[in-house]
A and B are shown apart, each in its own frame.
Chain A
Amino acid sequence: MVEPVLQISDLVKSFGALRATDGVTLDLHPGEIHALIGPNGAGKSTLIHQICGTVRQDSGTIRFAGQDIGGLGVAERAQRGLGRTFQVSSLAPEFSALRNVMLAVQAKQGSSFRFFKPAMLDRSLTEPAMTVLDRVGLAERARIPASELSHGERRQLEIAIALALGSRAFLLDEPMAGMGPEGSKTLTRFLDRLRQEAPILLVEHDMDAVFALADRISVLVYGRIIATGTVEDIRRDPAVRSAYLGDHD
């Protein structure tokens, strides 16, 4: 069996008396979309924060691409190929879409300590950046400041940045949030193809998207994974139905 790209074992994180992450074990295999669902307050965000390094776990391990990354900072994890998008878009608002992506390109090249060459005239930055902008359908909006992009465009831009990093795994935190039905459909099609490039850990509330995309689903409730399986397994699981999906049916 192929080694998982991302492997989380027995992760625990408490805030005071609250065990926000209560022994979570989760993995992500090459080529798959693994969806993480759960009701509000289940600890999805806390888990994401621990994976990308903004919150340090109390115990447990996080292995990424064969290495323990549990002790590394945010930037070091990103350098190793962990690409993430945010629940609420997190961009450099004054920069154009293009320069936002160029920042990722230069980070990937490991060359932020160059002081004299104008970045906007540097084709080794602009060309790769335009390529990914084109892929997410933002090529025509490349020169618009991120602050002036629409909500949906900002979400696309976040994905473009993760793509430009050449990530080995994507951590997408509610990419569909706030998107209209058309936007969600387009993004669903896009993510469907993206899994060939690198596996995706998808945190999402949009169940249509989750059921359309996920190879596996894990259900997080009160900091614990109560079930992991295929779409069909999860649909049938009685514990899941009562804890979560029941609200929808």
Chain B
Amino acid sequence: MSRETVVNFILAALLLAVPLLANAVGQPFYITLATRIAILALAATGLNLALGLGGLVSFGHAAFFGIGGYAAGILATHGFSGEPLVFGLSGTNQMLVIWIVAAVTAGLAGLAIGAISLRTSGVYFIMITLAFAQMVYYFAVSWPAYGGEDGLSILVRNQFPGVSTMRPLSFFLICYVVLLAAIGLFALIRASRFGSALQAARQNPVRVATVGIRPFRIRLTAFAISAMMTALAGALFADLNRFVSPSMLSWHMSGELIVLIILGGTGRLFGPLAGAALYVIIEYALGGITERWQFFLGLILLGVVLFARGGLLGFIAGKARHG
């Protein structure tokens, strides 16, 4: 077993142990904290597929995160009020349905945004993904039907068959399982033929084209899968806070997801989880001392970029091997 595998196991075990312990001693706040880590890690795992494997630095993944959040919020609102949504379809309070709607919507949005953005690269790609996300952001701000700038409350957390989602630990476990499933999917994709083509397209697109694979299609598919995963996290995030607002769509959110990945280790299987854990812990620990905790986050990020390019995982587990 490689050192990275050991670190991964420890991370996964810790993330499970903390809420269990918190539950045992009656400290639900820490369960919420762990849930936040799991959800942010899920969102960043989605982005990691595009950014880490594909080298596609999307500065617009907040769009997909927010689309997932609004899918949950809007469906729950209609489910609660009983008003039909569109074409006589009603809302729902079933997470499973919400997840599918969130993922499909974001997947289609990802295809559309990707189809245009992926014709550019480098700084232009970063800027065009940002521009698309800002369009979605301002659309949400100016859409009064679902709260506009004020956002939309979800009065009762959505339901999952056989689980009482209002219990913090149960909701955490749902998020935890979804996160592990996403990480598993990421691992499968990374090792697959598709993953070979995607990673090769990051390392050397000319090489990929020269063997007869068009990088564009590979990247577009990865971008859409990435969007779906991040949207799933958005739906869970809305359920965690029982609130969704345009802030989920803001460019700060896009930046935060990139920061999580860089902190944890770009392209690493558990990089997003390591990054999300570090981020939330810093936010909590330093946020209690000073309002300017982000200053210190900036310093840490600077340190990682300058001295530990592989992020936390690269620092602990060494250089990645690709087979």
**From residue 131 to 176 of chain A, which have CB atoms closer than 8 A to chain B?**
145, 161, 165
**Chain B window 200-213, contacts with chain A (Cβ cutoff 8 Å), 1 for yes, 0 for no:** 10011011111111
In the complex the two chains form, is A114's CB within 8 Å of B209's CB? no
Q: Is the interface of B mostly helix, strand, loop or mixed?
A: helix
In the complex the two chains form, is B212's CB within 8 Å of A165's CB? yes
In the complex the two chains form, is A120's CB within 8 Å of B191's CB? yes
Q: Please pick, from A52, A78, A99, A116, the residue contacting B196 in the complex, using a CB distance under 8 A.
A: A99
In the complex the two chains form, is A119's CB within 8 Å of B214's CB? no
Residues of B within 8 A of A116 (CB): 188-189, 192
**From residue 283 to 323 of chain B, which have CB atoms closer than 8 A to chain A?**
320, 322-323
CB B234 to nearest CB in A, in angstroms, measures 22
Given A90-B207, A117-B192, the answer on whether A107 and B199 have CB atoms closer than 8 Å is no
Residue B46 lies at the interface, judged by CB distance under 8 Å to chain A: no
In the complex the two chains form, is B191's CB within 8 Å of A118's CB? yes
Residue B221 lies at the interface, judged by CB distance under 8 Å to chain A: yes
Residue B197 lies at the interface, judged by CB distance under 8 Å to chain A: yes
Q: Please pick, from B193, B211, B322, the residue contacting A95 in the complex, using a CB distance under 8 A.
A: B322
**Chain A window 82-126, contacts with chain B (Cβ cutoff 8 Å), 1 for yes, 0 for no:** 001010001111111011101110111001111111111010010
Residue B218 lies at the interface, judged by CB distance under 8 Å to chain A: yes
In the complex the two chains form, is A52's CB within 8 Å of B204's CB? no
- A124 vs B200: C-alpha distance when bound (angstroms): 19
Q: Please pick, from B191, B197, B323, the residue contacting A106 in the complex, using a CB distance under 8 A.
A: B197
Q: Please pick, from A93, A106, A108, A161, the residue contacting B203 in the complex, using a CB distance under 8 A.
A: A93
**Chain B window 157-189, contacts with chain A (Cβ cutoff 8 Å), 1 for yes, 0 for no:** 000000000000000000000000000000011
Closest partner residue, chain A, to B209 (CB atom)? A74
Residue A75 lies at the interface, judged by CB distance under 8 Å to chain B: yes
Given A94-B203, A95-B323, A120-B323, the answer on whether A115 and B194 have CB atoms closer than 8 Å is yes
Residues of B within 8 A of A122 (CB): 193
Residue in B188, B191, B206 with the greatest tally of chain A CB atoms within 10 Å: B191
Residue A183 lies at the interface, judged by CB distance under 8 Å to chain B: no
In the complex the two chains form, is A92's CB within 8 Å of B212's CB? no
Residue A25 lies at the interface, judged by CB distance under 8 Å to chain B: no
- A76 vs B213: C-alpha distance when bound (angstroms): 8
Residues of B within 8 A of A230 (CB): none
Residue A128 lies at the interface, judged by CB distance under 8 Å to chain B: no
In the complex the two chains form, is A108's CB within 8 Å of B212's CB? yes
Residue A184 lies at the interface, judged by CB distance under 8 Å to chain B: no
In the complex the two chains form, is B323's CB within 8 Å of A96's CB? yes
Residues of A within 8 A of B320 (CB): 94
CB A172 to nearest CB in B, in angstroms, measures 13
Residues of B within 8 A of A103 (CB): 196-197, 200, 207-208, 211, 213
- A76 vs B217: C-alpha distance when bound (angstroms): 13
Q: Please pick, from A90, A106, A115, A117, the residue contacting B210 in the complex, using a CB distance under 8 A.
A: A90
In the complex the two chains form, is B209's CB within 8 Å of A112's CB? no
In the complex the two chains form, is B323's CB within 8 Å of A99's CB? yes
Residue A73 lies at the interface, judged by CB distance under 8 Å to chain B: yes
Closest partner residue, chain A, to B216 (CB atom)? A75
Q: Please pick, from B197, B204, B221, the residue contacting A91 in the complex, using a CB distance under 8 A.
A: B204
In the complex the two chains form, is A92's CB within 8 Å of B211's CB? no
- A73 vs B323: C-alpha distance when bound (angstroms): 29
CB A90 to nearest CB in B, in angstroms, measures 5
Q: List 10 A-B contacts (CB under 8 A).
A: A78-B209, A86-B206, A91-B204, A92-B199, A92-B207, A92-B208, A100-B207, A112-B213, A117-B192, A119-B192
Closest 7 CB pairs of A and B: A78-B212, A79-B212, A118-B191, A74-B209, A107-B211, A92-B200, A92-B203
Give me 13 other A-B pairs in contact (C-beta within 8 A), A75-B209, A112-B197 excluded: A73-B214, A76-B212, A90-B206, A91-B204, A92-B207, A93-B203, A95-B203, A99-B322, A108-B212, A112-B213, A114-B194, A116-B189, A119-B193
